[in-house]
Every structure is written in structure tokens, then in C-alpha cells.
Amino acid sequence: MSKFAHAVLLLVLAGVFAAGGCSQEKPAPKIPLTEAQKKFEKKCRDEFDMHVKTRMVGHTLYIYLPTQEPIFDYEAQKANSADANKKPSKFAVQFADGSYKAGRFLFEYDIVPRTKAKKEDYGYNSSYTDSYVKQQNNLYTAISDVFFNVEVKEASTQPLFFVIIITDIKKGIEMRATLYLEDFKRYMTGDLPYEEYMKRFLADTKGGQDFIGDETGTHITYTNVEMPDFLAKQIVNRINFKFQHSDFEPPNDFDNTIVGIIADTLRYYDFKDFTTVQLNNLRPLSPPRQNVKYIFEKNQLESFSEDVDEERTKPQGKLIRIRFDKGNVKLMPEEKPAAQTDAKEKTTEPAN
């Protein structure tokens, strides 16, 4: 089963220390639930016997489901499974991360050629348990039944993002997923293919001693999911997929591919609230083989789109470490600054 996962979440509040050194728990303040939240919790409880807890933070709804059932198990690998027949990827992603701050996206990556692959097939895979798959499917059913048809009067409280956390409170393992409601609607109605939706779906597995026995989700930190942060993480998701799971492998000069992934993702969501995108290739494959940075202004990304229309014009303006060759954009790190440079072009030295 794919590592792109599904998960759920919820509520917390810690005790405070009273004067004199004695600890005393104070009841958490009641946070009013929207009608949609109430319907969702009731549906999970009455139809699926799942006692979820929800909490709204900004435009993000957290859903927490504690369970006594395990999330992972092992099973024998099927003879004709995709995993059994898939050849190793050309590259290995050692590190990839993305962030957004003050209108600027930053992506850092360390991608190397895969020099050796496992020869022996041990004949088994880790997989999700049937109980976990059933719980996650029930949660998605409840989300679609309740939140796809929120009444107009509640539209202002409609979540844009869902953070879903399912926690095995016996073993201290949890699956966490973040999804954008509009993406989920499009997937459920057949407008988004499964593979594309999985690139948009953020999943994470965590473990912790404080997860054990946590019936209410006190270990969770609640923060509102903002669109640029969601997109930064999704782009990292897409980079990992492209370099390690895609049937269409990128070329050795893959910086162009990464810029294309960024340009396409921002265009899919029509996100324009940024000024620049910076790439930090921590280990380029071509000389000088040291940390190389690229900086793109917003209007320069369009020409890197992997599915760019032929009629689209090439960007104009300053571009750090970019060469224009007969109208085509090409990433060309310079070994040293030239004595004379074109007025439309600016270069920087590789970072040490």
C-alpha cells in the first residue's frame, strides 16, 4: 500500500500550576461547535461507532480519533504487485524541504543518483491494518456527507483545510493527514485522478510516549493551516514523488524539473501572493559541485511549467543564475563572475 497516507485529530489543554507549588488542573474553556461539527461528530458516533473529537482553528478543522487497534501490520508481497515489479528509481532524495515566509518561498534539496539497489526481495511489505483502513474510509465518508453540503448561513465557518489524526493510543503511533477540502471534493467527484490527488494529500507518521493513553488529543498543537505553507509542503511531496516513484524520471540536469513542479503547483491553485522563489541545490551533479542557489521572480516561473502552453511568452527581467539561449530558459551555474554581463542578467556565487 502507498506511503501516501490518511489520518485524523483533535483537542487539548494543559493544567496550570497554582501558587505554592501544588499543581491543579483547571477545566478547559468550552469552544462552541458549528452545526456542521456537531453533525459530523454525531454521524461518526451513531453510524460508525467512532468517538471523534473536533476543533476549529481559523479555517482549519482538526479531527482526532484515538483507537486501541494497531495501524500497521506486515503481509506477504503479492507476486504481481506493482512494488514487486517496479525497478529502482534513478535518484534518491536525501533531503527535501520547503517553507514560506514574508512572501518568499524557499526550497532546499539534496538529490543524488542511486548507485545501488537492494537485490534480495524478502517477500513481505508493511501495510495498513483492515481496521485502520475502515476507520479512515468512514471518516472520509462522514466528511463528504456533512461538509460537501454545508448550508449558506454556515458558509463563513466552512473549513478550507482538514487535519485528520488517527492515533494508536496503545502503541503510541499516529497517522496525520492534511487535505484541502476543494481537492477532496474534486477527487470524490472524479475530477482529480487518484495519483494527482495523492500528490496534493499531505501525510505523516509519528510516534511518541505522550500519545499513549491520550483519549482527548492533549499532545496535539493546534495551528491554522495557511495556503502558502500547505503549498510548500505539497511541492516537497511532489518532488519526492517525481524523483522516487514516477514512471517518468527527470533528467540529470534536474533543477529545471523542480522549478517546473513549483510553477505548476502554484498555478493549479492560482496562488499569486508571493514575490520570489529561491532554490538551494545542496549537492549539484555538475561542476562546481557545491551549494548552488537560484532565485526566481514571480513572472519568471511561467516558462518553467512542465505543461506550459506553447503560445505562452517567455518571462522578462532579472534572473539569478539563469541563461537565455535563443529564447529558451536554461539553468547554468556560472563558475565565476564574468567581466561583462548582460544588463538583464545577474549572477551570484555559489553558497559555501
Q: Is residue 18 predicted with pLDDT exceeding 90?
A: no
Share of the chain above pLDDT 70, in %: 71
Q: Each residue of 314-349: pLDDT tens digit? A: 333 333 334 444 444 444 443 444 433 333 333 333
- Hunting for cell 497516507 — which residue is that? 5
- DSSP symbols for 268-333: HTT----SEEEEEESS-SSTT-S-EEEEEEGGGSGGG-TT--TTPPPP-S--BTEEEETTEEEE--
Nearest to 352 by CA among 278, 280, 291: 291
The more confident residue out of 123 and 40 is: 40
Q: Which residue has the higher pLDDT, 29 or 337?
A: 29
DSSP 152: G
> Does the pLDDT of residue 242 top 90, yes or no?
yes
C-beta atoms surrounding 331 within 10 Å: 21
Q: What is the pLDDT of residues 254-308, one digit of tens each?
A: 999 999 999 999 999 999 999 999 999 998 877 666 788 999 999 998 788 766 4
Residues 293, 198, 3, 219, CA torsion sign? positive
Contact call for residues 212 and 219 (beta carbons, < 8 A): no
Q: In the numeric block, which cell numbers belong to residue 271?
A: 496562488
| Residue 235 pLDDT greater than 90, yes or no | yes
Q: What pLDDT, on the 0 to 100 scale, is given for residue 77? A: 80
What's the pTM?
A: 0.76
DSSP 90: S
Is the model's pLDDT at 27 over the cut of 70?
A: no
| Residue pair 332/292 in contact by the 8 Å Cβ criterion | no
Closest residue by Cα to residue 175 from 230, 129, 218, 223: 129
Does the pLDDT of residue 24 top 80, yes or no? no
Residues 30-49 have a mean pLDDT of 88
Q: Is the pLDDT of residue 221 over 80?
A: yes
Mark residue 213 as left, alpha or beta (left: phi above 0; alpha: psi -120 to 50; beta: remaining).
Answer: left
- Give the span between the Cα atoms of 331 and 294, in whole angstroms: 9
Is 252 a residue whose pLDDT tops 90? no
- SS3 of 267, please? helix
In the three-class reduction of DSSP (H, G, I as helix; E, B as strand; rest coil), residue 223 is classed as coil
**What pLDDT was estimated at residue 154?**
60
Write down the pLDDT at residue 122: 77
Angstrom distances, CA of residue 239 to CA of 205, 246, 254, 294, 295: 19, 10, 11, 17, 18
pLDDT per residue as tens digits for the range 72-81: 998 888 766 6
Which of 189-193, 240-244, 308-312 is predicted least confidently?
A: 308-312
Report the C-alpha gap between 117 and 55 in whole angstroms: 44
| Residue pointed to by grid coordinates 487497534 | 69
The pLDDT score that the predictor gives to residue 153 is 60
Q: Give the pLDDT confidence score for residue 344 in this predicted structure.
A: 34
Q: Which residues pair with 105 in a beta bridge?
A: 100, 277
pLDDT at position 343 is 34
